[in-house]
Structure formats: structure tokens, C-alpha cells
Amino acid sequence: MSIKSKNILLGHGSGGKLTNDLINDIFIKKLSNKILLTLEDSAVIKNNKTRIAMTTDSYVVDPIFFPGGDIGRLCVCGTVNDISVSGATICGISLGVIIEEGLDINILERIVESIKKTSKEAGVGIVTGDTKVVEKGKVDKIFINTAGVGFFDKDIDFSYKNVKKGDVIIINGEVGSHGLAVLNERNNLGLCGDIKSDAAPLNGLISSIREIKGIRCMKDLTRGGLLTAINEISESAGVGAVIDENNVPVSRSVSSASDVLGLDPFYIANEGKIVVVVDRKKADEVLSTMRRHKYGKKASVIGSFTSDKAVMIRTSIGSTRLAPMASGEQLPRIC
């Protein structure tokens, strides 16, 4: 058994190795089935000729308002993106809200207004929901759970297992801003520069490229950041990867703040970033199409998959270093 602690740690919610251990040693061990075992951003369920994508997520971010977003925008974007990277078209979101007694009604209205605005941007409705109120101190202001459902209107399969040696990795923009924006607001760090969350619904961007032949898979970059996501794909596909450090877009503000705080932006959470894995022959077409979309203007080729099993970083001086899955909790309650 991989879990060495007798108690749950904050690191078990990091999205990295501890989370992976928790999922495999507790949930997979007791609940295992063919669909669950894929461990991708959405489950793909087949019923005769109909294919459905389904996902669920819970949001406990602290604070609930931060530069570039809030818990309302976050919950819609997270659900939309998890469904969309499967290749499905999202058609509805459920909204479950657990509210602390005493919450200012104006705060709740502000959050629901943000949910409304973001779901309108994404072109998807909140189609069902549930509300609970618990005693003061039993929850921190408000927690939200969402689930999303999408249908496949095209014959698309974006499973991680499709990835092959030589496939190119493309990202749609700069990494690390969401995690640092939340951390800065939470702790009043006074970080300089324009650091704000990248939370965005990416279904429009994904729709613009998903029918290009040669795309192997896509993945949402949230907890654990870029390198944890690449490790998850590599493990599933049985391949390794090399990421070119110089090619990964990182804003000057995020880079400077990460240096000051001793954080690696490649492991910091994002809420508006995906990686697209594509056959090398189709990389230019995917890249140019992504750059025409508002959420893909800074898209870049950042590396490729290899026959080795390890994920490596090629540094700015030409050396390489191992880049494993995140092993601890850099930033708790980031989404």
C-alpha cells in the first residue's frame, strides 16, 4: 500500500503523487471498474451507439474572490474544460452548493451572478442543482460541487492511451498565474505585476481544433500544474516525455514571484490551460488554429513524447533533469 500516513494530509488533495496514491489505494481498490480505471478528466460512457462524457468536481478555494475570478467562475470553467478535453460537447451542468450559516446574502448573489456570466460565455446552462445550509463553522463560507454532461457528436477518441513516441505537446498559453493569484490574495503578499487567475472556459478553443486529424488527446492543467499532467499522460500511455524549459510560456510577473516564493511555475495550478498532444505532422496546423482564438494566442510547442518512461526537462543551458509528478502540497485549497 502506497499510503504511509494513518491520517489524511493536505498533500492528499494536491493533485500530485499523494493524490494519486490515495485514489489508487482507497478508491480504485474498492470501487474499480473499467470506466473508472481510465482516470481521465471525464468518464466516457457508452450506451448502444451513444457516447456520453461525464465529470464532477468540488470547489473549496480560499479566498472565494481573487484577481481574475471567483469560486463561481472557477466551478463553471473547471467543469466545461474537463468535459471539453474529452472531445465531447458539454450540454448541461449541475450545481450543488453548501453554504455556511451567516454568509452575507450579497456574497451569494455575487457568486451566482458570476456563475451566470461564465455559463453564458461557455454557452451551457445550469440545468439542475441542490442547496444545503450548515451550522456556522461547519464549512468555510461556501463550497460548490458541479457535474457536467456532454455528448459526442463526432467520432472522436482523445484517450491518453493514444499517445505515441514522437507526438508533440502544445500548450495554449502561460502557466502558473491562477495558483499565484490565489496565494497572493489569501496571504496579502503584495506580489508585484499583473498576476491574476487564468480561469476561462476553453470549449470554444477546443471546438476549433478537435476535428483536426492527428490529435491524440488533450488534458486540463489544474492541481499539480503542467508537469503533473504530463506525468499522468505518460504513465497511462507507457511513454516518457521531454519538455523544453525555454518554450513553456511563463509571464515575467509569475516567473519573478515564483523565484521569490521558491515555487516552480510548472507545478502551479492553472484554470484556463490545456495541453494538446498531436502527431508531429499536424502540429503546425493545430498551433496556428489555436493562436487565432482569444484563449490560445500564446500557444506554443513545448516538447514531445519519447520511448523512455521518465518525464524530463531540457533546461536553458541544454542539460536535462527529472520532472516527476508533484510529491507534496505547494498550495492547498487552490480550486
At 271, list the grid cell.
484554470
Q: Pick from 89, 122, 151: which residue ends a domain?
A: 151
Tens digits of per-residue pLDDT, 225-267?
A: 999 999 999 999 999 999 999 999 999 999 999 999 999 999 9
Domains in the chain, number: 2
Please indicate, yes or no, whether residues 164 and 309 belong to a single structural domain of this protein.
yes
Range of the domain at 179: 160-322
The domain that contains 216 carries what CATH number? Answer: 3.90.650.10
- For residue 329, is it within any domain? no
Tens digits of per-residue pLDDT, 30-81?
A: 999 999 999 899 999 998 889 999 999 999 999 999 999 999 999 999 999 9
Please indicate, yes or no, whether residues 277 and 171 belong to a single structural domain of this protein.
yes
Please indicate, yes or no, whether residues 53 and 188 belong to a single structural domain of this protein.
no
Identify the burial level of 128 via C-beta atoms within 10 angstroms of its C-beta, where 0-12 means exposed, 13-18 middle and 19 or more buried: exposed
Please indicate, yes or no, whether residues 170 and 92 belong to a single structural domain of this protein.
no
Please indicate, yes or no, whether residues 78 and 164 belong to a single structural domain of this protein.
no
Is the bond leading into 332 cis (omega within 30 degrees of zero)? no
Please indicate, yes or no, whether residues 115 and 252 belong to a single structural domain of this protein.
no
Return the CA Rg of the chain: 19
Please indicate, yes or no, whether residues 47 and 180 belong to a single structural domain of this protein.
no
CA 70 vs CA 65, 73, 170, 335: distances in Å? 4, 6, 27, 10
Judged against a pLDDT cut of 60, whether residue 1 lies above it is answered with no
> CA nearest 144: which of 231, 247, 73, 84?
73
Q: Round to whole Å and give the CA distance between 15 and 105.
A: 32
Please indicate, yes or no, whether residues 203 and 136 belong to a single structural domain of this protein.
no
Half-sphere exposure of 88 (CA within 13 A, CB side): 28
Please indicate, yes or no, whether residues 47 and 184 belong to a single structural domain of this protein.
no
- For residue 286, is it within any domain? yes
CB proximity list for 203: less than 8 A, separation 6 or greater: 80, 81, 83, 84, 89, 90, 122, 123, 124
